[in-house]
């Protein structure tokens, strides 16, 4: 029997083994009734103790959203989403939020322990093999459902002048900063899901790195959806002033459940002169059962702007979860000589659908962008890479290099590459390379003859295929990402 057939069968068998991290935590929740109306928006704003301008901003977004339609162009299919059939606000009942880890509900800590999330610095600093470069400690802002409940390392960060807090705290404590930047990269009316997010976002992170400061630690948020039928609307805003540097990690897992869950996050990054923002994501939301039922719908708007000269924004993502992923982290290169990067691994298995990619918008001269997208499809899954590179008239000598590689496991899956190139400047140069390959019988046999199981062999080959992207991840994320790749292809690869 050819290995691919076997592989497919193993995938099917293994997909039935339940989602490793699909558990639910029993914590008392404060939940708003189902449905979305102006009432809901007002309730959220009131519960968050927001100033009037914020409420008005939300209402403007809500009214705009009512006039908008869901985008229909992505290469994905799903039953219509009933926006009235979800809760838009849920938070653990224990209030006010704990000030230290000791105050955190032990149930919650147990959840983190199950997820293997290292809340303590010691755990984070525990030696990781191959960690050659000097590693920064990690500050964790854990988002549990809609409210950040544990934030560590605040003090060290405060000493460096770094602000890292839940965005709802920032709205109250740093209103002038939030008001100045919120919605400047992703405007309220940018798209259907961004408008929805603007109206009802309940949490997310706020990061501010002052001029000349190199953030002394990696900033990390672990997302997790826990309440049944709660839409998750995160809003993240990161600002790096002149010559500031920050690396931000985002990761998530979600418990197994029956109904599809909507997730529509918005992330905005702003890099000033010579500033650098690195944003890394390992995304592992529940993909649904082997028929795709019950998985997370992930519609995300992530965009960064390189406002200052020579600034740099780098997106790295490893996507293994969700029933549906719709996501295009983008860079607007407005500062002369600024740099945008996008490194991505997207894995789909069973009936997962992913439509992801990036947009690089070159506005200024001498801007450079690099896109490395690796797509792995197994089972009956379908994956589309969609990338836009736009060279505006002023983008003299701008450069883009794009490389898209697809790896197919089995013959029931699909991979599509859709590059859009728009060049309005004669001196700009755009290069695009694309490959599609399969794991060969030769490779599998070679590995197995050395004692590796077929599964380990596929894991090894897949990790090799993704190497250029994985090496961009901070060390502890890279290790986690490798594990995730293996888990998500388990059997798929069998």
Residues that bind other proteins (CB under 8 A): 1-3, 129-130, 440-443, 445-454, 456, 460-461, 463-468
| Token couple for 180 | 């100045």
Name which of 361, 213, 343, 331 is nearest 275 in CA terms. 213
Separation of alpha carbons 338 and 364, rounded Å: 8
Which CB, 361 or 461, lies closer to other proteins?
A: 461
Which CB, 95 or 450, lies closer to other proteins?
A: 450
Separation of alpha carbons 164 and 56, rounded Å: 25
In the bound complex, what is the minimum distance in angstroms from residue 209's beta carbon to other proteins? 34
Separation of alpha carbons 37 and 152, rounded Å: 35
In the bound complex, what is the minimum distance in angstroms from residue 376's beta carbon to other proteins? 12
Which CB, 100 or 453, lies closer to other proteins?
A: 453
Name which of 463, 415, 469, 470 is nearest 437 in CA terms. 415
Q: At which residue do the structure tokens 């390392």 appear?
A: 153
Which CB, 204 or 459, lies closer to other proteins?
A: 459
| Token couple for 118 | 């290292």
Q: What separation in angstroms does the CA of 455 have from each of 7, 81, 370, 381, 480?
A: 9, 36, 32, 19, 18
Which CB, 3 or 188, lies closer to other proteins?
A: 3
313: β partners: 277, 340
Separation of alpha carbons 249 and 221, rounded Å: 6
Backbone angles phi and psi of 84, in degrees to 5: -85, -10
Q: Give the distance from CA 392 to its chain's centroid.
A: 28
Which CB, 47 or 448, lies closer to other proteins?
A: 448
Determine how many CB atoms are found less than 10 A away from the CB of residue 147.
21
In the bound complex, what is the minimum distance in angstroms from residue 112's beta carbon to other proteins? 28
Which CB, 3 or 332, lies closer to other proteins?
A: 3
Which CB, 354 or 447, lies closer to other proteins?
A: 447
Separation of alpha carbons 242 and 88, rounded Å: 37
Cβ-based burial of 102 (10 A; exposed 0-12, middle 13-18, buried ≥19): exposed
In the bound complex, what is the minimum distance in angstroms from residue 129's beta carbon to other proteins? 5
Cβ-based burial of 444 (10 A; exposed 0-12, middle 13-18, buried ≥19): buried
Which CB, 196 or 407, lies closer to other proteins?
A: 407
Neighbour-count burial for 69-96, b at 16+ CB within 10 Å, e otherwise: eeeeebbbeeeebeeeebbbbbbbebee
| Token couple for 90 | 């849920």
Say which residues have a Cβ less than 8 Å from residue 69's Cβ, sequence separation at least 6.
192
In the bound complex, what is the minimum distance in angstroms from residue 1's beta carbon to other proteins? 7
Which CB, 266 or 376, lies closer to other proteins?
A: 376
In the bound complex, what is the minimum distance in angstroms from residue 460's beta carbon to other proteins? 6
Which CB, 18 or 440, lies closer to other proteins?
A: 440
Name which of 6, 1, 24, 57 is nearest 410 in CA terms. 6
Neighbour-count burial for 188-220, b at 16+ CB within 10 Å, e otherwise: bbbbbbbbbbbbbbbbbbbbbbbeebebebbbb
In the bound complex, what is the minimum distance in angstroms from residue 52's beta carbon to other proteins? 54
In the bound complex, what is the minimum distance in angstroms from residue 415's beta carbon to other proteins? 17
Which CB, 233 or 465, lies closer to other proteins?
A: 465
Determine how many CB atoms are found less than 10 A away from the CB of residue 56.
12
In the bound complex, what is the minimum distance in angstroms from residue 135's beta carbon to other proteins? 17
In the bound complex, what is the minimum distance in angstroms from residue 461's beta carbon to other proteins? 6
CB 241 within 8 A of CB 214: no
In the bound complex, what is the minimum distance in angstroms from residue 247's beta carbon to other proteins? 24
In the bound complex, what is the minimum distance in angstroms from residue 453's beta carbon to other proteins? 6
Which CB, 191 or 403, lies closer to other proteins?
A: 403
In the bound complex, what is the minimum distance in angstroms from residue 441's beta carbon to other proteins? 7
């Amino acid at each position: 029997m050819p290995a691919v057939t076997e592989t497919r069968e193993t995938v099917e068998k293994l997909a039935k083994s339940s989602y490793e991290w699909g558990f639910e935590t029993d914590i008392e929740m404060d939940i708003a009734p189902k449905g979305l109306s102006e009432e809901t928006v007002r309730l959220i704003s009131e519960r968050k103790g927001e100033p009037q301008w914020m409420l008005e901003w939300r209402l403007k977004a809500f009214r705009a959203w009512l006039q908008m339609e869901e985008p229909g162009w992505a290469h994905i299919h799903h039953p219509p989403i009933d926006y009235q059939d979800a809760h838009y606000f849920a938070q653990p009942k224990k209030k006010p939020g704990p000030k230290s880890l000791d105050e955190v509900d032990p149930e919650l800590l147990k959840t983190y322990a199950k997820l293997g999330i290292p809340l303590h610095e010691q755990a984070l600093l525990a030696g990781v093999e191959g960690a050659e470069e000097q590693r920064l400690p990690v500050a964790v802002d854990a988002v549990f459902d809609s409210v950040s409940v544990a934030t560590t390392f605040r003090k060290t960060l405060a000493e460096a002048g770094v602000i890292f807090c839940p965005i709802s705290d920032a709205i109250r404590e740093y209103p002038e900063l939030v008001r100045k930047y919120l919605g400047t990269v992703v405007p309220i009316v940018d798209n259907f899901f961004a408008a929805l997010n603007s109206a009802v976002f309940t949490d997310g992170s706020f990061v501010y790195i002052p001029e000349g400061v190199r953030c002394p630690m990696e900033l990390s948020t672990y997302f997790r959806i826990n309440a049944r039928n709660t839409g998750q609307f995160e809003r993240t805003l990161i600002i790096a002033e002149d010559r500031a540097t920050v690396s931000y990690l985002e990761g998530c897992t979600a418990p197994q459940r029956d109904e599809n869950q909507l997730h529509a996050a918005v992330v905005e990054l702003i890099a000033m002169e010579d500033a650098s923002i690195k944003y890394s994501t390992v995304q592992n939301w529940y993909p649904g059962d082997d028929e795709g039922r019950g998985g997370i719908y992930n519609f995300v708007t992530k965009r960064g702007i390189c406002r200052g000269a020579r600034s740099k924004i780098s997106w790295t993502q490893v996507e293994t979860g969700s029933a549906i992923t719709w996501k295009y982290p983008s860079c607007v290169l407005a500062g002369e000589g600024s740099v945008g990067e996008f490194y991505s691994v997207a894995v789909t298995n069973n009936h997962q659908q992913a439509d992801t990619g990036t947009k690089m918008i070159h506005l200024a001269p001498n801007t450079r962008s690099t896109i490395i997208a690796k797509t792995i499809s197994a089972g009956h899954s379908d994956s589309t890479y969609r990338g836009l590179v736009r060279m505006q008239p002023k983008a003299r000598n701008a450069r883009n290099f794009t490389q898209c590689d697809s790896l197919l496991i089995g013959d029931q899956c699909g991979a599509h590459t859709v590059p859009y190139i728009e060049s309005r400047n004669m001196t700009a140069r755009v290069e695009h390379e694309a490959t599609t390959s399969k794991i060969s019988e030769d490779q599998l046999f070679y590995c197995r003859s050395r004692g590796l199981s077929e599964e380990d062999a596929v894991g090894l080959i897949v990790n090799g295929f993704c190497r250029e992207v994985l090496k961009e991840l901070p060390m502890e994320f890279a290790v986690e990402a490798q594990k995730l790749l293996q888990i998500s292809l388990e059997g798929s690869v069998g």
